[in-house]
């Protein structure tokens, strides 16, 4: 039985997004890199991903944690349900972590073979949060379009430097700094809110090109991707506008119409920096435009509708979310 009281050097929190097969592939690459005398891997799951429990036999050294209390994500009818599940899984996993460093991955972001070594080496620097590079391993137009929408600024090559943004699919925190802003993430983890709170406290974010993950989202289809983009944009706007005045929300909602061309320009700049050909840029432009329109519509909904009310939560056990 796993000892849950011992303090460790490193926690790796693996967020379930794509499901059991992706978790299996990710763990198979990650586990050989770890010394479990000093490290742990936490995989939170729930009633919407119950088949993850089947992996306990194959990976006995991993802590698979079943979440009973899903908060806003308890009802599948709530807006942006999938994203709220991921945010809740991260929050519960962070509460369970024991590492001096707390790293985060997603299941379809396979860690490079030297990822653990590099994330630990990067944190010898005096930064609260260090994010790494992200590559796309699926050579299809939809995958490239989605990759550049989400992770263009993290596409190598880039110059390691202090930044305002790092991605929660490839990063690590110094525990003390993350726990100092626990009130921000205790119910649901939103990277923009957490990193904003850290920056406000004078902490620094750093982007380092040594820790690399490989994005492997196989089997993507356009309509589900567009729905996902609407949800992701909505969550982003809800979080961003949580303290906006009514009129500021209206202004941002109206400005959503200008987002697709602005974001398209930004995506092309990242593609040029990475040395992508004009042919590839043109090939993905139609689907890229649709994805950006979906995101902008999601932002519009987030500014106009705000976060769902507590009435959307079904009856749940105590808020701790802790279950063995």
Count of Cβ atoms closer than 10 Å to residue 99 Cβ = 21
Continuous segment of H or E residues that includes residue 87 = helix 81-96
The answer for residues whose C-beta is within 8 angstroms of residue 251's C-beta and 6 or more apart is none
Architecture of domain 8-143+151-219: Alpha-Beta Complex (3.90)
Contact 82, 231 (CB under 8 A): yes
- Single out the residue of 92, 164, 171, 102 nearest to residue 133, CA to CA: 171
pLDDT for 307 equals 79
CATH 3.90.550.10 residue window(s) in the chain: 8-143+151-219
Count of Cβ atoms closer than 10 Å to residue 304 Cβ = 16
Residue 207's beta-bridge partner residues?
131, 161
pLDDT for 306 equals 84
pTM assigned to the model: 0.90
CA angle 298–303–307, rounded 5-degree value? 90
The answer for residues whose C-beta is within 8 angstroms of residue 76's C-beta and 6 or more apart is 48
pLDDT for 309 equals 61
Count of Cβ atoms closer than 10 Å to residue 254 Cβ = 12
Please provide the DSSP assignment of 163-218 as one string: ES---TTEEEEEHHHHHTTHHHHSSS--HHHHHHHHHHTT--EEEEEEEEEEE--T
Contact 93, 13 (CB under 8 A): yes
CA-based torsion, 302, 316, 40, 180: positive or negative: positive
pLDDT for 315 equals 42
pLDDT for 32 equals 97
Q: What is the pLDDT along the chain (324 residues), one digit of tens a residue?
A: 456 678 999 999 999 999 999 999 999 999 999 999 999 999 999 999 999 999 999 999 999 999 999 998 999 999 899 999 999 999 999 999 999 999 999 999 999 999 999 999 999 999 999 999 999 999 999 999 999 999 999 999 999 999 999 999 999 999 999 999 999 999 999 999 999 999 999 999 999 999 999 999 999 999 999 999 999 999 999 988 888 999 999 999 999 999 999 999 999 999 998 888 888 889 999 999 999 999 999 999 999 988 776 554 544 443 334 444
Continuous segment of H or E residues that includes residue 136 = strand 129-136
């Amino acid at each position: 039985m796993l000892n849950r009281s011992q303090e460790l050097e490193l926690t790796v929190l693996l967020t379930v997004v794509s499901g059991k097969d992706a978790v299996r592939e990710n763990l198979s690459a990650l586990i050989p890199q770890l010394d479990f005398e000093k490290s742990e891997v936490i995989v939170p799951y729930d009633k919407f991903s119950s088949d993850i429990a089947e992996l306990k036999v194959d990976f006995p050294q991993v802590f698979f944690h079943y979440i009973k209390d899903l908060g806003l994500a308890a009802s599948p009818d709530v807006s942006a349900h999938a994203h709220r599940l991921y945010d809740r899984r991260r929050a519960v996993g962070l509460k369970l972590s024991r590492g001096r460093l707390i790293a985060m991955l997603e299941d379809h972001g396979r860690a490079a073979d030297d990822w653990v070594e590099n994330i630990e080496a990067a944190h010898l620097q005096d930064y609260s949060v260090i994010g790494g590079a992200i590559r796309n391993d699926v050579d299809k137009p939809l995958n490239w379009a989605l990759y550049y929408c989400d992770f263009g600024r993290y596409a190598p090559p880039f110059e390691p430097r202090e930044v305002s943004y790092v991605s929660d699919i490839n990063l690590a925190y110094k525990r003390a700094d993350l726990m100092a802003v626990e009130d921000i993430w205790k119910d649901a983890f939103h990277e923009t809110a957490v990193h904003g709170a850290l920056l406000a406290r004078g902490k620094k974010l750093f982007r380092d090109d040594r820790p690399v993950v490989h994005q492997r989202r196989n089997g993507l289809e356009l309509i589900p991707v567009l729905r996902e983009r609407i949800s992701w944009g909505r969550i982003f706007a809800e979080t961003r506008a949580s303290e906006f005045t009514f009129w500021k929300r209206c202004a941002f909602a109206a400005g959503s119409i200008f987002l697709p061309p602005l974001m398209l320009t930004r995506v092309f700049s990242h593609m040029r920096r990475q040395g992508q050909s004009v042919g590839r840029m043109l090939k993905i432009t139609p689907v890229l435009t649709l994805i950006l329109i979906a995101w902008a519509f999601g932002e519009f909904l987030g500014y106009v509708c705000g976060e769902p009310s507590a009435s959307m939560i079904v009856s749940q056990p105590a808020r701790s979310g802790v279950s063995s």
